[in-house]
C-alpha cells in the first residue's frame, strides 16, 4: 500500500517504521522545519514501548536512560518530608526519536511540510500540504497531534480538546547550570512538591544528544499552575496567541520575570533555582481529548491526534506505540472493514481509559 502520514513525532514515526518494515511505501509529512531532535526530555517507557522497540530491533534504546534512585517529596522550606526508594528510569525522548527516525530514509520523511487538510473518496485518500501539493495514498494516517488537521477533516463536528484549567511551565536545564545547593537535593532523584492548586516535579534526563554521563545531562522541571487567562499566558513575544503551548523562546521577558518571582514566593528554593537557570522557559497547557472514532474508510487517527491524556499518566508515548502496532496489524489484515473495526474498538477503549486516568490524577490541580 502507499501510505501518507501527517506528523513525524512518535506516533507518526512508530507507524512509519512498522509499515515500512512490512513492505509498504510510506511518506511522512512533518510541519517542523528544523526537525525534532534535541527538543524532548525523558519518558517512562511502558510495556507497549518495549514491545515496539523489540519489533523494530531497537531493544537497546529502552535500556538507555537516566535512573532516579528514589522519589522524594519536599516541603516549601526545602526539607525532604518523604522518601520512597523506588528507582525509575527516564528513557531519552531524543534518543528514541533519533533511533526510530534512522529506520526511515530521507525520501520518506519530509520536514517543513504542514498538512492543511485531508480527504478521501472511493478510490483514494489524500493530504493537502501548505505549499499547495496534493499527495494521494491508499491510506492516510493522522499522527499530527492535538491540533490535528486530519481529525478536523475526519470528524468535522468534533469539539476537540477541552482545557483542563492549568498549565505546565517547563524548564530543561544543563545540569552544570544548577547551583550546588539545588543539585545536591534534586540530581538523580524524582522530586515532588505539592501545593494548593499546583504541583512541581522534576528529574534528571539525558542530554540533548542522549548523553548519559553525569555533568552532561539535563534537569527537567515541571510546574503545574492553575491558570484562568489561558490566551494571555500563551501569547508569545510577537503578540501571537497560540492554542496549546509556547515553545522555548516564545515566553516574553515580562512573563518570565513574573514566573521567577512566583517561583521564589511559592516553590522550594531548589525548584525556583531550576527555573532561574532556564533562560527560555516554555509552557504547555493541559487538555483532555477523546475522539469518538479512529478509522473511517481510508483515514485513520493515532496518538495525540486521537486521544490527549494529561502528562501525569506518563503514557503518551506508550499510547502512541500501542496505536501504531494495532494500526500496523489492521493494515497487515488488509485494512478491511473488519480489521478497521477491530483496530478502532481496541484503541478507542485504551484511549478512553488513559484519558480518564489522567483526569483523576489531575483533579486536584484544576
Ligand atoms: C518536540 C517534542 C518533544 C516531546 N518531548 C516529550 C518528552 O520528553 N517526554 C514525553 O513523555 N513526551 C514528550 N513529547 C510528547 C509525546 O511525544 C507525545 O505526547 C506522544 O508521544 C504522542 O505523540 P504524537 O506523535 O501522537 O503527538 P505529538 O508528539 O504531539 O506530535 C505531533 C507531530 O505532528 C506535527 N504536526 C502537527 N500539526 C501538523 C500538521 N498540520 N502537518 C504536519 N505535521 C504536523 C507536530 O510538529 C509534531 O511533530 C514531545 C513531543 C514533541 C513534539
Q: How far is the CA of 324 from the centre of ligand 1 (A)?
A: 14
Same domain (yes/no): 240, 280:
yes
Q: What is the Cα–Cα distance from 3 to 6, expressed in whole angstroms?
A: 10
Backbone angles phi, psi at 277, to 5 degrees: -85, -5
**74 in a structural domain:** yes
* 246 and 335 share one domain: no
In total, the chain counts a number of residues equal to: 366
What is the C-alpha separation between 224 and 165, in angstroms, rounded? Answer: 10
Q: Which atom of ligand 1 is nearest to the CA of 113?
A: 43
pLDDT number for residue 34: 85
336 and 236 within one domain: no
Contacts of 104 (CB under 8 A, 6+ apart): 13, 16, 17, 20, 26, 28
pLDDT at 210: 83
| 316 CB near ligand 1 (under 6 Å) | yes
Reading the block at residue 90, the C-alpha cell is 527516564
* Number of neighbours of residue 276 by Cβ within 10 angstroms: 21
CB of 31 closer than 6 angstroms to any ligand 1 atom: yes
Report how far apart, in Å, the C-alpha atoms of 96 and of each of 56, 62, 177, 184 are.
12, 8, 25, 29
Residues 268, 334, single domain; the answer is no
- My answer on whether 73 and 119 are in the same domain is no
Tell how far the Cα of 75 is from the centroid of ligand 1, in angstroms.
33
The pLDDT value given to residue 331: 98
For residues 326 and 254, state if they share a domain. Answer: no
Within 8 A by CB and 6+ apart from 29, the residues are 4, 5, 6, 7, 8, 110, 113, 114, 115, 127, 129, 135
Q: Which atom of ligand 1 is nearest to the CA of 308?
A: 19
Ligand 1 centre from 303 Cα, in Å?
9
Q: Are residues 271 and 342 in the same domain?
A: no
Q: Whose CA is nearest to atom 10 of ligand 1?
A: 43
Q: What is residue 35's predicted lDDT score, i.e. its pLDDT?
A: 82
Domain carrying residue 280: 62-92+162-286
* Closest listed residue to residue 150, CA positions, set 162, 137, 163, 169: 137
Q: What is the pLDDT of residue 37?
A: 80
pLDDT tens, the chain, 366 aa long: 999 999 999 999 999 999 999 999 999 999 999 888 877 888 888 899 999 999 999 999 988 889 999 999 999 999 999 999 989 998 989 889 999 999 999 999 999 999 999 999 999 999 999 999 999 999 999 999 999 999 999 999 999 999 999 999 999 999 999 999 999 999 999 999 999 989 999 999 999 888 899 999 999 999 999 999 999 999 999 999 999 999 999 999 999 999 999 999 999 999 999 999 999 999 999 999 999 999 999 999 999 999 999 999 999 999 999 999 999 999 999 999 999 999 999 999 999 999 999 999 999 998
For position 67, what pLDDT does the model report? 93
Q: How far away, in angstroms, is 141 Cα from ligand 1 center?
A: 15
Give the pLDDT score at 366: 82
How many structural domains comprise the chain?
A: 2
Is 304 touching ligand 1 by the criterion CB < 6 Å? Answer: yes
Model pTM score = 0.95
Pairwise CA distance, residues 313 & 356, whole Å = 10
> Is there an atom of ligand 1 within 6 Å of 40 CB?
yes
- Quickly list DSSP for 231-293: HHHTB-TTSPBPSSEE-TT-S-HHHHHHHHHHHHHHS-HHHHHHHHT-SS-EEEEEEEEE-S-
- 137 shares a domain with 9: yes
In a domain, 48, yes or no: no
Q: Exposure string (b/e) for 128-142, b if CB count within 10 Å is 16 or more? A: bbeeeeebebbbbbb
C-alpha 139/C-alpha 24 separation (Å) is 11
Do 69 and 205 reside in the same domain of the chain? yes
Cell numbers given for 321? 506505540
Report yes or no on 47 lying in a domain. no
Confirm or reject: Cβ of 135 under 6 Å from ligand 1: no
305, 183: one domain: no
> pLDDT value at position 38?
75
Strands 2-6 and 25-29: parallel
Does the C-beta of 347 come closer than 6 Å to ligand 1? no
Give the nearest ligand 1 atom to 146 CA.
Answer: 30
For the chain, first and last CA: distance in Å?
45
pLDDT for the residue numbered 121: 95
- Mutation to probe ligand 1, out of 10, 302, 323 (largest number of atoms < 8 A from CB): 10
Burial of 60 (0-12, 13-18, 19+ CB in 10 A): exposed
User: In the numeric block, which cell numbers belong to residue 300?
Assistant: 485513520
CATH classification at residue 6: 3.50.50.60
C-alpha 150 to ligand 1 mean position (Å): 15
Closest residue by Cα to atom 37, ligand 1, is 144
Residue where a domain stops, chosen among 231, 252, 286: 286
Cα(268) to centroid of ligand 1, in Å?
31
Look at the block and give the residue holding cell 509529512: 29
Amino acid at each position: 500500500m502507499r501510505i501518507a502520514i501527517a506528523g513525524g513525532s512518535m506516533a507518526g514515526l512508530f507507524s512509519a517504521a512498522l509499515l515500512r518494515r512490512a513492505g509498504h511505501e510510506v511518506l511522512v509529512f512533518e510541519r517542523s522545519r528544523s526537525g525534532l531532535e534535541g527538543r524532548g526530555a525523558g519518558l517512562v517507557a511502558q510495556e507497549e514501548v518495549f514491545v515496539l522497540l523489540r519489533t523494530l530491533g531497537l531493544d537497546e534504546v529502552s535500556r538507555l536512560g537516566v535512573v532516579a534512585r528514589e522519589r522524594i517529596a519536599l516541603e516549601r522550606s526545602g526539607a525532604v518530608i518523604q522518601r520512597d526508594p523506588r528507582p525509575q528510569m527516564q528513557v531519552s525522548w531524543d534518543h528514541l526519536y533519533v533511533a526510530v527516525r534512522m529506520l526511515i530514509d530521507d525520501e520518506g520523511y519530509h520536514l517543513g511540510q504542514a498538512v492543511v487538510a485531508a480527504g478521501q473518496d472511493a478510490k483514494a485518500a489524500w493530504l493537502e500540504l501548505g505549499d499547495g501539493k496534493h499527495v494521494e495514498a491508499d491510506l492516510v494516517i493522522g499522527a499530527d497531534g492535538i491540533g490535528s488537521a486530519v481529525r478536523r477533516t475526519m470528524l468535522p463536528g468534533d469539539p476537540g480538546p477541552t482545557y483542563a484549567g492549568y498549565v505546565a511551565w517547563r524548564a530543561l536545564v544543563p545540569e552544570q547550570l544548577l547551583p550546588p545547593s539545588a543539585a545536591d537535593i534534586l540530581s538523580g532523584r524524582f522530586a515532588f512538591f505539592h501545593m494548593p492548586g499546583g504541583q512541581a516535579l522534576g528529574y534528571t534526563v539525558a542530554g540533548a544528544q542522549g548523553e548519559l554521563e553525569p555533568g552532561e545531562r539535563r534537569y527537567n522541571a515541571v510546574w503545574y499552575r492553575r491558570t484562568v487567562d489561558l490566551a494571555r499566558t500563551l501569547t508569545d513575544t510577537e503578540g501571537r496567541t497560540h492554542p496549546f503551548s509556547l515553545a522555548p523562546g516564545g515566553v516574553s521577558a515580562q512573563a518570565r520575570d513574573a514566573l521567577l518571582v512566583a517561583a521564589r514566593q511559592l516553590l522550594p528554593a531548589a525548584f525556583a533555582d531550576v527555573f532561574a537557570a532556564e533562560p527560555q522557559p516554555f509552557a504547555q497547557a493541559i487538555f483532555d481529548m477523546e475522539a469518538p472514532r479512529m478509522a473511517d474508510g481510508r483515514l485513520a487517527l493515532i496518538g495525540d491526534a486521537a486521544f490527549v491524556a494529561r502528562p501525569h499518566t506518563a503514557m503518551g508515548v506508550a499510547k502512541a506505540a500501542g496505536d501504531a502496532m494495532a494500526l500496523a496489524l489492521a493494515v497487515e489484515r488488509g485494512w478491511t472493514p473488519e480489521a478497521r473495526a477491530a483496530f478502532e474498538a481496541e484503541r478507542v477503549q485504551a484511549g478512553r481509559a488513559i484519558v480518564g486516568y489522567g483526569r483523576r490524577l489531575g483533579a486536584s490541580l484544576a
